[in-house]
Every structure is written in structure tokens, then in C-alpha cells.
Amino acid sequence: MRIVGFIGPSGTGKSHRATWVARERGIDFIIDDGLLIKGNAVVAGTSAKREPTKLASIRRALFINKEQADEMKEAIKRYNPEAILILGTSDGMVEAIAKNLGYPGVNEKVYIHEVADEFEIQQALATRREQGKHVIPVPTFEIKKDFSGYFLDPLQIFRRKGKGNYQLVGEKSVVRPTFSYLGSYTISDYTVYQIVEHVVSGIDGVSRISRFRVENSPEGISIEMDLILIYGYNIRSLLYEVQKKVKVEVERLTSLNIKELNVIAKSLVVENKR
């Protein structure tokens, strides 16, 4: 199997250009920050950007943990790719990743300055330094359940095919990891409740929330709430509408992954007709 390294200092735009570099060399699989990526999908691994500290992030990206390395080896064996593009901040990092995954060496190395000019590299470094932005070369829904940081922007990358014609090369997610030096953030349960209460108050057939509970976990949040409904509405359809609208709005405003959303019709009230 051909191993190609894509090398450049942290924050110079490697992940942003990884899909393009892979396509130009006929490579379908990318290893970036602990993830095995095929096209627009994560097929194995967990993002190093979910780790709470920079050191833990580096350890995950290097596959130092044997269990993590074995999982990745098994996935690579299952897909049996002809070539893999490995992203790293130095020659040593790319070679270490290859070695930890059981490969003797790297067949070819591509450096960031070969595919980006100095202005683009400095621009990328400034964005990382001033805004803490990192790119993961897959769509947001692919990493949402495995990411503990903050989602900033979805990003679509196009390639010019001819005059006025563009082809979609890939979707990417712009994120701010938990270990960002810009500081940590917390979204309180009460904030989630206020968002849910606002959504529910705009749905015909719901009187009010009588009980609300949120549980946090690394995979996302679980919400459970009891509702007082207004008599005369189809309960099943109404609860489904509440679930759908609450999920969309909470995820849009907080970027939290909703793992579970249980809605209970606790009681009914009759509204006097005016």
C-alpha cells in the first residue's frame, strides 16, 4: 500500500487542502487527527480535536494508544485501500503515525508550501492564532457525535472546471476544539431549557412545560420533558412536531448533539372558546 505524507506546521491549512491533494494523487483515504476519512465520510477513529487538552490531542493523532491503533489497523485492513494520505506537522510525525499503524515508512511526501503560496499560509496561520479555527475535512454531521468543541461554520470547497463552472470537491467543518487557547465555554441546562420553552410556546396545542431535565454525556445531551397539552389536538402528531422542532432549534443554536429527546404528554387542559 502506498503511504503519502502531507506535511506542514499546525494551522497552515493542511486539512483545508487535504481532499484536493488526495484527489490529485488518486488517493481515496485520508488519516487526519485520529480519523480515517473516505470521501465525505468518517469510516473509523475519533477526532483528536475532541480531547480536552493539547497533549491528549497529540497522543490520539499519533495513535500512541495501542487499542486505538489496533482499531485503525483493522479498519484499514477491512477497506484495503491502494493508498492513504497521512497529515502531519512534520516528517517525524507522519513517519511515527505510519510506524504506529504497522507500516515501514512513507513512500512520498508533499509539503504545504508546494500546494499553497506564502500569503495563503500566513492567512491560515492568522486565522488559527486570532480565532482558534481548525478545519476537519468532513461534513459537520459526520463528526458531531464525536466532537466536544464548538462548531463555527460549515464549508464547501469547489474546484474550477472551466469558465464559470465549478465542481464540489468536498464539505468541511470549521471548529474550535475544547483545548483552544481562546478559553473554554459552557452552555448551561437553563439556557437549553429557555430555547426549548421558546420553541414549545410557538406550537399550537401545547399549553406549557411542566417538567424538564437535561443530562450531558460525551456523545451529546439527553432531554426529557413533560408537557401540558390543550384538549382537541392529535397527541401523537403534536408530540412528534415538538420533538422535530426542538431538535432542529437546539442543535442550530448550541451545536450540541441531541442523543435522545423524550417528550411525555402529562395532562390535558381545556381552553374556553372566546
Note whether residue 251 is domain-resident.
Answer: yes
**Domain end call among 130, 161, 180:** 130
What does the block give as the cell for 82?
A: 491502494
Count of structural domains, the chain: 2
User: Is there a domain that residue 34 lies in?
Assistant: yes
| Pair (101, 195) in one structural domain | no
Domain that holds residue 216: 189-269
Per-residue pLDDT, averaged over 26-45, amounts to: 87
Residue bearing the bigger pLDDT, 250 or 219: 250
The H or E element that residue 245 is part of is helix 235-254
Q: Is residue 263 part of a domain?
A: yes
Please indicate, yes or no, if residue 165 is contained in any of the structural domains: no
Q: If you count them, how many residues does the chain have?
A: 274
For CA atoms 124, 129, 130, 136, give the dihedral sign. Answer: positive
> CA nearest 173: which of 57, 35, 28, 8?
35
131 band by pLDDT with thresholds 50, 70 and 90 = low
* CATH code for the domain in which residue 122 is found: 3.40.50
Q: Give pLDDT, residue 132.
A: 62
**Residue 231 belongs to a domain:** yes
User: Mean pLDDT over residues 189-218, rounded?
Assistant: 90
* CATH code assigned at 241: 3.30.70.1350
Across 21-25, 91-95, 167-171, least confident range: 167-171
Q: What is the mean pLDDT of residues 98-105?
A: 91
204 in the same domain as 122:
no
Q: Residue 173 domain-assigned?
A: no
Q: Residue 195 to residues 26, 153, 210, 226, 256: CA-CA distances in angstroms? A: 46, 21, 15, 16, 13
Summarised one tens digit per residue, pLDDT across range 104-121 is 889 999 999 998 888 888
pLDDT in tens, 134-171: 666 555 544 555 555 555 455 444 445 555 555 444 55
What pLDDT, on the 0 to 100 scale, is given for residue 263?
A: 96
* CA atoms of 242 and 240, how far apart (whole Å): 5
Report the pLDDT averaged over residues 175-189: 61
Task: List the beta bridge partners of residue 84.
Answer: 3, 29
Higher-confidence residue of 187 and 81: namely 81
Residue 180 lies in a domain: no
Residue 265 within any structural domain of the chain: yes
pLDDT of residue 220: 75
If asked whether residues 40 and 116 sit together in one domain, one would say: yes
C-alpha cell at 153: 461554520
Q: What is the pLDDT of residue 142?
A: 47
pLDDT band at 175 (very low <50, low <70, confident <90, very high): low
Of 107, 130, 153, which residue sits at a domain end? 130
Considering 130, 149, 170, which residue would you say is the last residue of a domain? 130
pLDDT value at residue 206? 95
Q: Return the H-helix or E-strand segment holding 143.
A: helix 140-143
Let me know: does 76 contact 84? Beta carbons within 8 Å. yes
